[in-house]
Each structure stands twice: as structure tokens, then as C-alpha cells.
């Protein structure tokens, strides 16, 4: 099957290369000429583990190419996947300008039955909007069907997520389109991935409801962490105790500096706006957003409290991307935290394995370092913001020597407070008591006894 994927960003590129790897012929289209030129040379302009190798393999095997020419790519394709950005507008709702542009181009180049598949995260009613644009532009010359196929991949493990999803959601009213979609995803069906086939609106809402729920778990545990700090409890143990309950599950229960990235903040704001458009209030989501903003502010206060005075202090910041294994800085919690520290008169020495180039235009006054140790040199405190694996096993003796004072503020709870205290550090983390050198009794997690009832 010939497939055209419009938009070669995180989602479009991963979708295109994975579908090519399934054996389909894929043309990736992007209006960014520099991006297309780089991709045509096999160079992937974003950092995503395994992506470049898979792009090169599928290009060499003749199933994947890139172009800026949307018209011919649409004409050749049986399925057009839309994976352009849907950035937030000032009221929080999704900006659908790029989606409309693509729909208008499809209308112009419709030359036979095609399925138009929305991979981008779009509000309820967008499928109908695309249908109206294409119908108006193309008239009744050719039949087409609109499909909602929201994407759930996570940056940093995007290929793995695309190839082994928890589920595939297909929203369409057209049985022929549903059949074609099942054909596209047949390798996943063969691997027993569950499929949900539903209408367009339900599929669109599944994506917002899922991201809203995950963001809720994060804000929930961040509030629990604040309560732990006030009463001397340990959020790590609370979250473990909660997560062992199958009804809750352990994921997205790590306390930290608040959620960021290109999806959760944007999608939760859009979900709140979707409810408002229906004359409703998505109260939980509004609270989730409020807590997230407060959490980021609380991190700045935490650093300030630990330092005593921020003005004139030098801070070594480890991690700028919104999560590990990506260079994506969009809505990274590191950005407001770094800005808050600069506003309070601090100097920042930063290190991130992949996100420093993107950060330079945003924060030209930071000192960008080669590694964590260079950042720590002469700093009044080390602040860990993103949980890159390489920050989990820092050489503590070396850090102790390099820092002006042995203060570590860990916004990701990567270290054991008692071990840090034993190594001579004042160690401030999230929702956990500061350590003491002698080991205190910690929670013993008993194996779950199958026979015991849960309440
Ligand atoms: N990034 C994620 O982790 C993720 C996960 C799931 C869903 N999504 C959703 O997928 C969509 C895309 O996200 P992304 O992170 O890949 O965005 P992105 O900004 O990385 O990529 C979008 C690409 O679309 C291109 N583009 C815009 N208009 C175009 C047009 N008219 N013709 C051709 N190309 C055009 C841009 O140049 C850009 O390269 C968004 O709706 C997002 O919410 C993202």
C-alpha cells in the first residue's frame, strides 16, 4: 500500500518509518525544506533512540522517502496520515491551522478513494471539519473516508511504543476505511495488540481522556509529595504502596517537578477547553493544571530554601529536556525553574546530554558544560531536574570535591537520602525526609498474598 505521512516531526517520522518497516511504501512530507533535505540524506534532525538507523534501513530498502511536494504524494497514496503539529492557542484550545491546510491540499489532489487518517491530537469535531473541507474542495468527484487514529507513543521510546502499543484506536464510520486500517496495522494485529474500532468522535476523545488521566496521576502524586514533606512521610513508599494495588498500578506515580513536554500540558489545556465548548467544566483537569503550575513554582521555592539566598549563587543544573532520551524542550519543567533561578539572581551552569543546543537560544546566558562534573565545579548546589540514566550513578566523592558546598537538590529522587547523608551531602529531594547517615528502618514490602482481600 502507498502511504503519505504529512508532517515529519516526532509522530510523523516515527509513524512513517514504522509503516515502511511493516512493508508499506511511505512518502514523508514536510513543509520544512531543511528538515526534508536532512532526512533525504538519512539524517534525523531530532534525538530519538533507534530512529536514524531505522530511517536509513528503510530508505536503503526503497520503502521510504521524503519530499516537500505534498500534491504528488497525496495523488500516489491510498492512505494519507496527518501528523502535523496542533499547538496551543492562547485560550488553551488546539490550533488547527496546519490541519486545515493539509485538508485543503488533500481536497485539491483527491484523485480516487483515499482514507484520511488523523494521527495528530485533535479536539472532538476535527474529523467532521476535515470531512467538510475535503468535501467542499473536492466536490463529489471521488469518495474518501476520514479516520481518527490517535497516537500514544512516548518520546524517548517512540519506536518501541509504535511497534508494541498497548492498543490501536481506529475511529471511522466507513467499513471500507476500517478494513484498510486493519490492513495497515496487520503486523500489530498478528502480534495480538488489542484494537478498538469506534466512531471518530469517541476515538478523538480517547486520546484527551488518556493524557488527562495520566497527567492527573502525576499531579496527584506531586500533591501527595507536598503532604509528605509537611508531615515527614516518604512519597516513594506511599507511591509503592499505592502502585502495588492492581486497580491503581505503579506507573506515573513518581513525584517530581511537574509534567511537561509537547503533549500533557497542551492536551490537558485543550481538554479543559473542549469541556468549556460544551458548556461544561472539566473540574479535575482544571485542578491538575493548577497543581502542575504550583508544583513548578514550589521547586523554585525549594531550591531557594535549601540555598538560603539565591542572589549571587551558582547552581549546577543537570537535565534540561522534559524527560530523558529526548532533546525535546517543549514545556520542559526545567525552563521555568531555570528562569526562576536567573530571575532571583543566580548563575546557572547547565549540562544535558542532548538538549543543550536547543536551549542556547532560550537561555544564552547559561554556561553550557561538557558533563555533570564540569557543571558542578565551584557551584553552590547541584540541582537534578531530568532523570537521564547517567545522572543516577554520579561519582559522589568527585562531586563532593568539585562543589563549593555539598548541597544536592534532586527533583527526581534518584538517590537514597541516607546514602547521600553518609557521603557528606545535604540532600534535598521530593516528598522524602532528608537523610541521616545511620540507616533508618524503611518500609518492607511483603509479597502480596493472593488469598488476602484488598480494601
Ligand atoms: N510528540 C509526541 O510525543 C506526541 C505523541 C502523541 C501525539 N502527538 C501529537 O502529534 C502531533 C504532531 O506532534 P509532533 O510532536 O510530531 O510535532 P512536531 O512539531 O515535531 O512535527 C510537526 C511537523 O509538521 C510539519 N508541518 C506543519 N504543517 C505542515 C504542512 N502543512 N505540510 C507539511 N508539513 C507540515 C512541521 O514542519 C513539523 O515538522 C501533535 O498533534 C501532537 O499533539 C505528539
Query: pLDDT tens across 26-73, in order?
Result: 999 999 999 999 999 999 999 999 999 999 999 999 999 999 999 999
Angle, alpha carbons 275-280-285 (nearest 5°):
55
Domains of the chain, each with CATH number or no CATH = 2-198 (3.40.50.720), 209-428 (3.40.50.720)
Mutate to test the pocket of ligand 1, among 7, 107, 324, 331 (most ligand atoms within 8 A of CB): 7
Distance 216 CA to ligand 1 centre (A): 24
Distance 262 CA to ligand 1 centre (A): 10
The model carries a pTM of 0.93
Calpha distance 249→253 (Å, rounded): 9
* Residue for grid cell 527533583: 411
Distance 391 CA to ligand 1 centre (A): 30
Distance 351 CA to ligand 1 centre (A): 27
Judged against a pLDDT cut of 90, whether residue 305 lies above it is answered with yes
Q: Which residue's alpha carbon is at the smallest distance from atom 1 of ligand 1? A: 10
Catalytic residues: 263
Positive or negative, the CA dihedral 31, 35, 41, 45 is: negative
Judged against a pLDDT cut of 60, whether residue 178 lies above it is answered with yes
> For 397, what's the count of Cα atoms within 13 Å in the CB-facing half-sphere?
0
Give pLDDT, residue 301: 97
Q: Which of 2-6, 185-189, 294-298, 445-449 has the lowest mean pLDDT?
A: 445-449
Distance 395 CA to ligand 1 centre (A): 39
Calpha distance 80→184 (Å, rounded): 12
Calpha distance 146→422 (Å, rounded): 61
Query: With pLDDT > 90 as the criterion, what percentage of the chain qualifies?
Result: 93
Mutate to test the pocket of ligand 1, among 8, 9, 130, 332 (most ligand atoms within 8 A of CB): 9
Those residues whose C-beta lies under 8 Å from the C-beta of residue 345, and which sit 6 or more positions away, are: 310, 311, 312, 313
Mutate to test the pocket of ligand 1, among 30, 87, 127, 325 (most ligand atoms within 8 A of CB): 30
Give pLDDT, residue 273: 94
Which of 241, 233, 266, 239 minimizes the C-alpha distance to 255? 239
Cβ atoms within 10 Å, residue 446: 8
Angle, alpha carbons 418-421-425 (nearest 5°):
145
Judged against a pLDDT cut of 70, whether residue 203 lies above it is answered with yes
- Nearest ligand 1 atom to the CA of 267 is 43
Which of 116, 12, 144, 18 minimizes the C-alpha distance to 67? 12
Mutate to test the pocket of ligand 1, among 28, 80, 84, 98 (most ligand atoms within 8 A of CB): 84
Calpha distance 224→410 (Å, rounded): 17
Instruction: Look at 20 and 88; give whichever has higher pLDDT.
Output: 20
Distance 30 CA to ligand 1 centre (A): 10
C-alpha cell belonging to residue 353: 546530554
Calpha distance 248→239 (Å, rounded): 10
Distance 417 CA to ligand 1 centre (A): 40
Judged against a pLDDT cut of 80, whether residue 157 lies above it is answered with yes
- Nearest ligand 1 atom to the CA of 105 is 31
Give pLDDT, residue 92: 85
- Nearest ligand 1 atom to the CA of 262 is 1
Tens-digit pLDDT profile for residues 434-450: 987 765 445 554 444 33
Calpha distance 110→424 (Å, rounded): 68
- From residue 351, give the alpha-carbon distance in Å to each of 48, 357, 366, 377, 386: 19, 11, 10, 12, 10
Give pLDDT, residue 448: 40
> In the chain, what is the straight-line distance between the N-terminal and C-terminal CA atoms, in Å?
52
CB within 6 Å of ligand 1 — which residues? Answer: 6-12, 29-32, 35, 70, 83-86, 98, 101-102, 120-121, 151, 153, 155, 262-263
Judged against a pLDDT cut of 70, whether residue 76 lies above it is answered with yes
Calpha distance 249→251 (Å, rounded): 6
Q: Which residue's alpha carbon is at the smallest distance from atom 33 of ligand 1? A: 30
C-alpha cell belonging to residue 243: 502502585
- Nearest ligand 1 atom to the CA of 158 is 3
Distance 227 CA to ligand 1 centre (A): 38
Which of 178, 241, 169, 181 minimizes the C-alpha distance to 205? 169
Which of 394, 312, 391 minimizes the C-alpha distance to 354? 391
Give pLDDT, residue 87: 93
Judged against a pLDDT cut of 70, whether residue 373 lies above it is answered with yes
Give pLDDT, residue 438: 62
Burial (CB < 10 A; 0-12, 13-18, 19+), residue 56, is middle
SS (H, E, C) the chain: CEEEEECCCHHHHHHHHHHHHCCCEEEEECCCHHHHHHHHCCCCCCCCCCHHHHHHHHHHCCCEEEECCHHHHHHHCCEEEECCCCCECCCCCECCHHHHHHHHHHHHHCCCCEEEEECCCCCCCHHHHHHHHHHHHHCCCCCEEEEECCCCCCCCCHHHHHHCCCCEEEECCCHHHHHHHHHHCHHHHHCCCCEEEECHHHHHHHHHHHHHHHHHHHHHHHHHHHHHHHHCCCHHHHHHHHHCCCCCCCCCCCCCCCCCCCCHHHHHHHHHHHHHHCCCCCHHHHHHHHHHHHHHHHHHHHHHHHHCCCCCCEEEEECCCCCCCCCCCCCCCHHHHHHHHHHCCCEEEEECCCCHHHHCCCCCCCEECCCHHHHHCCCCEEEECCCCHHHCCCCHHHHHHHCCCCEEEECCCCCCHHHHHHCCCEEECCCCCCCCCCCCCCCCCCCCCCCCCCC
Judged against a pLDDT cut of 80, whether residue 453 lies above it is answered with no
Give pLDDT, residue 442: 52
Amino acid at each position: 500500500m502507498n502511504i503519505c505521512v504529512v508532517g515529519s516531526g516526532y509522530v510523523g517520522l516515527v509513524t512513517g518509518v514504522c509503516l515502511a518497516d511493516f512493508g508499506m511504501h511511505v512518502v514523508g512530507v514536510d513543509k520544512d525544506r531543511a528538515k526534508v533535505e536532512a532526512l533525504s540524506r538519512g539524517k534525523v534532525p531530532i534525538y530519538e533512540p533507534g530512529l536514524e538507523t531505522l530511517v536509513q534501513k528503510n530508505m536503503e530498502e526503497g520503502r521510504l522517502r521524503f519530499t516537500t511536494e505534498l500534491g504528488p504524494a497525496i495523488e500516489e497514496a491510498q492512505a494519507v496520515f496527518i501528523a502535523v503539529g496542533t499547538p496551543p492557542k492562547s485560550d488553551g484550545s488546539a490550533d488547527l491551522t496546519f490541519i486545515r491546510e493539509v485538508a485543503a491540499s488533500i481536497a485539491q489532489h483527491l484523485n480516487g478513494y483515499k482514507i484520511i487518517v488523523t494521527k495528530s491530537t485533535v479536539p472532538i469535531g476535527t474529523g467532521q471539519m476535515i470531512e467538510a473541507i475535503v468535501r467542499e474542495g473536492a466536490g463529489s468527484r471521488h469518495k474518501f473516508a476520514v479516520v481518527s487514529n490517535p497516537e500514544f507513543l512516548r518520546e524517548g521510546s517512540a519506536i518501541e511504543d509504535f511497534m508494541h502499543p498497548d492498543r490501536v484506536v481506529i475511529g471511522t464510520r466507513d467499513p471500507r476505511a476500517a478494513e484498510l486500517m486493519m490492513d495497515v496495522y496487520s503486523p500489530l494485529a498478528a502480534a495480538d495488540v488489542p484494537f478498538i474500532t469506534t466512531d471518530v468522535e469517541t476515538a478523538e476523545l480517547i486520546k484527551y481522556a488518556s493524557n488527562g488521566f495520566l497527567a492527573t496521576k502525576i499531579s496527584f502524586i506531586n500533591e501527595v509529595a507536598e503532604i509528605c514533606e509537611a508531615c515527614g512521610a516518604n512519597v516513594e513508599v506511599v507511591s509503592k504502596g499505592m502502585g502495588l494495588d492492581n486497580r491503581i498500578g505503579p506507573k506515573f506515580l513518581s513525584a517530581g517537578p511537574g509534567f511537561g513536554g509537547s503533549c500533557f500540558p497542551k492536551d490537558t489545556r485543550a481538554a479543559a477547553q473542549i469541556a468549556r465548548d460544551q458548556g461544561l467544566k472539566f473540574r479535575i483537569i482544571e485542578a491538575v493544571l493548577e497543581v502542575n503550575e504550583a508544583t513548578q513554582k514550589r521547586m523554585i521555592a525549594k531550591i531557594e530554601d535549601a540555598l538560603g539566598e539565591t542572589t549571587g549563587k551558582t547552581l549546577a543544573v543537570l537535565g534540561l529536556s522534559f524527560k530523558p532520551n529526548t532533546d525535546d524542550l517543549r514545556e520542559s519543567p526545567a525552563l521555568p525553574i531555570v528562569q526562576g533561578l536567573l530571575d532571583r539572581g543566580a548563575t546557572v551552569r547547565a549540562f544535558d546530554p542532548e538538549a543543550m543546543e536547543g536551549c542556547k537560544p532560550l537561555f544564552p546566558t547559561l554556561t553550557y558544560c561538557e558533563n555533570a562534573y564540569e557543571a558542578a565545579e565551584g557551584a553552590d548546589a547541584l540541582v537534578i531536574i531530568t532523570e537521564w540514566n547517567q545522572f543516577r550513578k554520579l561519582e559522589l566523592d568527585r562531586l563532593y570535591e568539585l562543589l563549593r558546598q555539598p548541597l544536592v537538590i534532586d527533583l527526581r529522587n534518584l538517590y537514597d537520602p541516607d546514602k547521600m547523608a553518609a557521603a557528606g551531602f545535604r540532600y534535598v529531594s521530593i516528598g522524602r525526609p532528608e537523610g541521616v547517615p545511620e540507616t533508618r528502618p524503611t518500609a518492607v514490602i511483603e509479597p502480596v498474598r493472593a488469598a488476602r482481600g484488598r480494601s
